[in-house]
Structure 1
Amino acid sequence: MRFSGNSKTSPRCDMAPLILLAMLLLAGCDRNPNGQAPRPTPEVSTVTIAPQKVLLSTELSGRTSAFRIAEIRPRVNGLIEKRLFAEGSNVKAGQILYQIDIAPFEAAFNNATAALAEAQAKLPATRSRAERYKNLLRHSALSQQDYDDAASSLNQLLANINSLQASVETARINLGYTKVTAPISGRIGKSSVTDGAIVTAYQATALAAIQQLDPIYVDVPQSTAEMLRIKTRLKQGLVDPEGKDHNKVSLIQEDGTPYPLEGTLQFSDVSVDPTTGSVIVRLVFPNPDGEILPGMFVKAIIKEGVNNQAILLSQQGVSRDSKGNPFALIVNAENKVERRDLILDRAIGNDWLVTSGLAPGDRVIVEGLQMLRPGTQVKATPFTETKTGRNQTADSGVQTSGRHEGGR
């Protein structure tokens, strides 16, 4: 067996163990005592809470109803000669709607007039005889009985004339009732009778109905709890009335489009419905073009007043725990995450109106909420709203609502 003449080890081979040892030492320095690599500081986006002036309003659903409704009924018996209106058209007060056969009523009027004229023709002679008998009685030229008979005949004739005058007036009124007129202006519906129908005075079935649509009523139910909350806010000075426009209300139609004209709050009912715990609030809206019809489902926006120190928080900054209670995560002065339980009043656009839980100057986390826990050190940057950021926040499970919270 032969050996090489150079028995020294190669320098490259001597350095390999040293390099391996240095790499192991560096790797050990990069790990924490638990053997895990340190996590980077989470980055979050925040909004700083600042009070602002907000007009508070309540959205209530209800239905419309006609301002006035008049059911048309005949006042005399007779035969309908002619219907004088178009169904579904607008009619004016005093317009003739139906013509009842006039002939029998003209005859009755003429008969009453003739009877009155006959009685009035007898009056001068009867009165003259009574006065003459009275003079004769003074001179004892006539018995008392004869004078009493003459005076009684005069009084009887006068009473008969009064009765006949009343009969003439009744016949005249009935003659006028043959023209069935509209008591109010408005839109008339379908007719329940046709030409040639026999009708009776004040019958149960209406001939037609007229509805006045301008203005028009909107009746909306409001819970007594919400009504009391509004009164409490006003008493505590949390809400200031809106001045002369405080009673102005807006309307949203069935298709979701806003009604262009404003209405007014007329009154709130004085009795509470025991089944629903609500009262009816009646609103009045102008309806010159007849766009709103009775029975339509609408939403009314009633102004409550102005909150001059309202705290609004974007809905994407509100989370809910397993019980559904709302809370927000804020960044405190030490740049650590802190939980704040919230009391929400209502949704205003894309924001929540916060009643309790936040104060001016708080930095609320609105992005980067995933996997955050109270006490976590974070790096906070101001939030810049972008469509992408909003969509990502919505996907993270933040709940939104358009209704009143009324508490936590």
Structure 2
Amino acid sequence: MNYETHFASDALGGMDADDARAIKRRRIIIAAVVILALVAIASWVAIRGQGAAAPVEVGVQVPVVTVVTPGRSTVDRTVTTTGSLGARIDMPVGVVGEGGQVTRVLVQPGDWVTEGQVLAVLERSVQSEQVRSLAAQVEVARADAKLAQAQLDRAKSLVGRGFISQADIDQRTATRDAAAARVNVAIAQLGEQRARTGRLDIRAPAAGLVLTRTVEPGQIVGSGSGVLFRMAKGGEMEMRAQVSEGDLQTLRVGNRAMVTPVGGKDSFAGQVWQVSPVIDPQNRQGIARIAIPYNPALRPGGFASASMISGSGTAPLLPESAVQSDPKGSFVYIVDAKNMVQRRDVTVGQVSDAGVAVTSGITGSEKIVTSAGAFLTPGQKVKPELLKAT
């Protein structure tokens, strides 16, 4: 027995070489079988996993969504802006005459007055005496004229007897005419003084609403005193709306508008009565003046927002719930012919109680998802239920 045979025999506990080789082959076969079994198990698990995924996909419920085909509706084009409130015709009232000391102020801000109504009275003691003096001079002139007329009449009765010449008649006629002229002069002077005295009453130039008062009894006023009262003619108000250059081109006199004062919930109907013919070169804006009937909630100097109708057109009209928005802008979800959800970017126009007008992005013939858009994703399969557009 050689060295190798002796070693193998020792290792296998005394087995011979043939037995050792047989055991080694069995071990190799067992290892190969185990490896094949593991590969088969792995393949079976993979096939089972793929086979299980398909039933799960089939078993998922397709969401039902309500869609609408809006078509195209007639909608108003509007211009929304802000501006300040004021009197449509602002009337400043000051001293017309020579002025003086204010003795009485007869109105307060918020009072309604008629045309010519006295707002304040100035002291007039000197002027009253001048009026009485001139009135007396009128009486003197009338008496002189009456006397001259009587003398002329007597002279005419004597001229036929030859006691009075025609020259005397002409002289007495001239005297009578001069006396009558002096009467007219006196009357005119009296009228002038009465007018001057009347101008000491500060009167309303037209019927309207008193807005402000800056005069008190005892104050000395004159032609340089500035505005003592400010009035709104007829109580009519307006909003001076700041409108962009582009929007101003679409506005016309007579366009309807709704004005909402800041801090208030009520809106007031008005109409554009003047569109600015110029554009401010600094801010590229113009003024649209909106006439509004008087209301206590409309306070001159206040701030307001306005929505002006600048025309009409046709556009798809959607419920507000159908329009979504994200950092990229506004969009809607449409359902295509394969019932797959697709995103469509849109431009939103006028928003009203009737819905949201879409100015671009859709034609109105698409199936638009009206609700649950926030839970959908592009490419998702859905089951649409058509809702008839109203």
Task: Tell me the SS of whatever aligns to 1:64.
Answer: strand
> Pick from 364, 372, 375: which aligns with 1:360?
364
> Pick from 209, 215, 223: which aligns with 1:186?
209
Task: Tell me the SS of whatever aligns to 1:284.
Answer: strand
Query: 1:258 — aligned with what?
Result: 265
The Cα of 1:265 is off from its aligned counterpart by: 0.4
Query: 2:20 — aligned with what?
Result: none
Q: 2:128 aligned with 1:106, yes or no?
A: yes
Deviations 1:343-374 (A, max 9, x none): 4435558975322331334245634566x5xx
Gaps of 5+ in 1: 232-245, 384-408
Task: Tell me the SS of whatever aligns to 2:382.
Answer: strand
Query: Given that residues 105 and 216 in structure 2 are in contact (C-alpha distance below 8 angstroms), is that contact kept between their aligned partners in structure 1?
Result: no
> Pick from 61, 84, 87: which aligns with 2:105?
84
Amino acid at match of 2:306: A
Query: Given that residues 250 and 259 in structure 1 are in contact (C-alpha distance below 8 angstroms), is that contact kept between their aligned partners in structure 2?
Result: no
Q: 2:318 aligned with 1:312, yes or no?
A: yes
> Pick from 273, 276, 279: which aligns with 1:273?
279
Amino acid at match of 1:378: Q
> Pick from 54, 59, 72: which aligns with 2:93?
72
TM-score by length of 2: 0.69
Distance 1:180 1:378, change over 3 A: closer
Decide which moves more: 167-176 or 300-309.
300-309
The Cα of 1:228 is off from its aligned counterpart by: 4.6
The Cα of 1:121 is off from its aligned counterpart by: 1.0
How many residues end up aligned between the 2 structures? Answer: 348
Matches of 2:174 and 2:155 in 1, distance apart?
A: 12
Task: Tell me the SS of whatever aligns to 1:189.
Answer: strand
Matches of 2:186 and 2:92 in 1, distance apart?
A: 33
Q: How does 1:4-403 map to 2 (within 5 A)?
A: 17=35, 19-26=37-44, 29=47, 47-51=67-71, 53=73, 56=76, 57-77=78-98, 79-80=100-101, 82-85=103-106, 88=109, 90=111, 92-93=113-114, 95-133=117-155, 142-183=164-205, 184-195=207-218, 197-200=219-222, 202-211=223-232, 214-228=235-249, 248-255=256-263, 257-259=264-266, 262-269=268-275, 271-275=277-281, 276-288=283-295, 290-304=296-310, 310-312=316-318, 314=321, 316-317=323-324, 330-336=334-340, 340=344, 342-346=346-350, 353-364=357-368, 366-367=373-374, 372=378, 377-381=379-383
Q: Indicate the RMSD between aligned Cα atoms, in angstroms.
A: 4.5
Identity of aligned residues (%): 18
Query: Given that residues 51 and 312 in structure 1 are in contact (C-alpha distance below 8 angstroms), is that contact kept between their aligned partners in structure 2?
Result: no
Matches of 1:277 and 1:133 in 2, distance apart?
A: 86
Query: Given that residues 259 and 270 in structure 2 are in contact (C-alpha distance below 8 angstroms), is that contact kept between their aligned partners in structure 1?
Result: no
Matches of 2:384 and 2:43 in 1, distance apart?
A: 41
Matches of 2:57 and 2:352 in 1, distance apart?
A: 37
The Cα of 1:198 is off from its aligned counterpart by: 3.3
Matches of 1:61 and 1:40 in 2, distance apart?
A: 55
The Cα of 1:254 is off from its aligned counterpart by: 1.3
Larger radius of gyration: 2
Matches of 1:85 and 1:15 in 2, distance apart?
A: 120
Deviations 1:138-177 (A, max 9, x none): 7776445433322221221111111111122223333333
Amino acid at match of 1:98: A
Q: Which structure is higher in helix share?
A: 2
Amino acid at match of 1:216: M
Task: Tell me the SS of whatever aligns to 1:379.
Answer: coil
Query: 2:4 — aligned with what?
Result: none
Matches of 1:194 and 1:83 in 2, distance apart?
A: 5
Distance 1:188 1:357, change over 3 A: closer
Matches of 1:163 and 1:230 in 2, distance apart?
A: 59
Decide which moves more: 96-105 or 69-78.
69-78
